[in-house]
Amino acid sequence: MKKFFLFVLAALIPLAPAFSSDKAPKNEKVKNVILIIGDGMGFSACASWMVDRHYEPTCFDRAQYVGMSKTYSANSRVTDSAASGTAMACGIKTNNSMLGVLPDGTPVTSIAELAKAKGLSTGIVVSSYVLDATPAAFYAHVKNRNDRKTIEENLIDFKPDVIVGGGRKYFVEERYVPVNMIDKAVGAGFTYVSSPDDFMIATKTPILGLFSDESYPMAIERDTDYLTDVSLHTLDILDDNKNGFFVMIEGSHIDHAAHANNAEQLTWEMEEFDKVVNAAFDYADIHKGTLVVVTADHETGGVALLPGSKDFTKSDTGIDVKFATTGHSGSPVPVYSYGASAWRFGQVMENTDIFARIKSLLIDRK
Ligand SMILES: [Zn+2]
């Protein structure tokens, strides 16, 4: 048995990635922040992707620091995306279903709003619809995440340089809005684009991209690297600003795959997520002063990697991805960081600390 163990270890060592935190810049001044959120992406979702890749290096192996975020909200140990998005965007714990407000309804300024006020560029890229809870937490202030009309008005008022994803029907259909909100956005100065292809050649900001009626299709339903392509073009637009930028990129469908308890969809979404995180790390490698933080708003599905047998004296009996719930769970989530001052995220933290640390590095910088 001992001999076999040594053999297995020896076989795995050449595959192990170099200990990359050796290279992490310590207190490098932060000019740009790329916050990437895997909606519903717990530790086991990340681990399922590592297993799928046969433990060859994934984006997660490449992180320079790893921390853990506690996701409970003001009124529940199991959060929704609205309260957890608000925690990361605004630095406060609020009640589930509330966006950008304290439990009593008082609005709180988001990191994106602070960045804009400081003269930085801002961007939001999602595969869900642009009014969904995670993106809206960065620009909206409503007590109810389903108050889409107010969320749209908040979006148009905030005017991020780039906001792209799905959700066209909520802007144009009479049963949601009394007036065409795309026209209103264009009237307020937005460039409107209706497909990723049109977005890829758009440069005049602010840009509103609504690429589908509801959420953009899941990775399993298309053969494009949607999230990576639109994110890289967004970075290209945002980094024209010499003051720097803040961008939030969301792998929204990880949550939807886990709600559906669909392991195959989850794998496709993790593959797409891996690509966009690696692209962001590559960007940080060549753009000094860029910090990349990769985390989740909560765990979805109670994902577990279960063996084929409970007899652990046997060699590998296979691993199945199983789900304990079709809802969210109370498990903490990982925080991976890379680039300028990445070490600030290598601890156990509250989800509100993600806001506080980004603010101290990007907004309060001298
Ligand atoms: Zn969810």
Domains detected in the chain: 37-305+328-363 (3.40.720.10)
Q: State the distance from the centre of ligand 1 to the C-alpha of 54, rounded, in angstroms.
A: 28
Which of the pair, 7 or 320, is modelled with greater confidence? Answer: 320
Q: State the distance from the centre of ligand 1 to the C-alpha of 28, rounded, in angstroms.
A: 35
Q: State the distance from the centre of ligand 1 to the C-alpha of 132, rounded, in angstroms.
A: 11
pLDDT confidence of residue 22: 56
- Residues 6+ away with beta carbon under 8 Å from 40: 254, 255, 256, 258, 259, 296, 297, 298, 299, 300, 301, 328
**Set 44, 48, 73, 81: catalytic member:** 81
pLDDT confidence of residue 120: 98
Q: State the distance from the centre of ligand 1 to the C-alpha of 255, rounded, in angstroms.
A: 5
Of 4-13, 290-299, 332-341, 352-361, least confident by mean pLDDT is 4-13
Annotated active-site residue 81? The verdict is yes
- Nearest CA to 254 among 297, 292, 291? 297
Q: Are strands 207-210 and 65-70 parallel, antiparallel or unpaired?
A: unpaired
Residue 17 pLDDT greater than 50, yes or no: no
pLDDT confidence of residue 16: 45
Residue 157 pLDDT greater than 70, yes or no: yes
Please give the full DSSP string across 276-328, using - where no structure is assigned: HHHHHHHHHHHSTTEEEEEE-S-EES-EEEEES-S-TTSS---EEEEES-SSE
Q: What is the pLDDT of residues 239-287, one digit of tens each?
A: 999 999 999 999 999 999 999 999 999 999 999 999 999 999 999 999 9
Residue 338 pLDDT greater than 70, yes or no: yes
Residue 9 pLDDT greater than 60, yes or no: no
Of 5-19, 122-136, 274-288, least confident by mean pLDDT is 5-19
Q: What is the pLDDT of residues 36-78, one digit of tens each?
A: 999 999 999 999 999 999 999 999 999 999 999 999 999 999 9
Summarize the confidence of residues 162-190 as an average pLDDT. Answer: 97
Q: State the distance from the centre of ligand 1 to the C-alpha of 80, rounded, in angstroms.
A: 7
pLDDT confidence of residue 205: 98
Summarize the confidence of residues 327-331 as an average pLDDT. Answer: 98
How far is residue 279 CA from its own chain's centroid? 14
> Binning pLDDT at 50, 70 and 90, where does residue 26 land?
confident
pLDDT confidence of residue 151: 97
Q: State the distance from the centre of ligand 1 to the C-alpha of 127, rounded, in angstroms.
A: 14
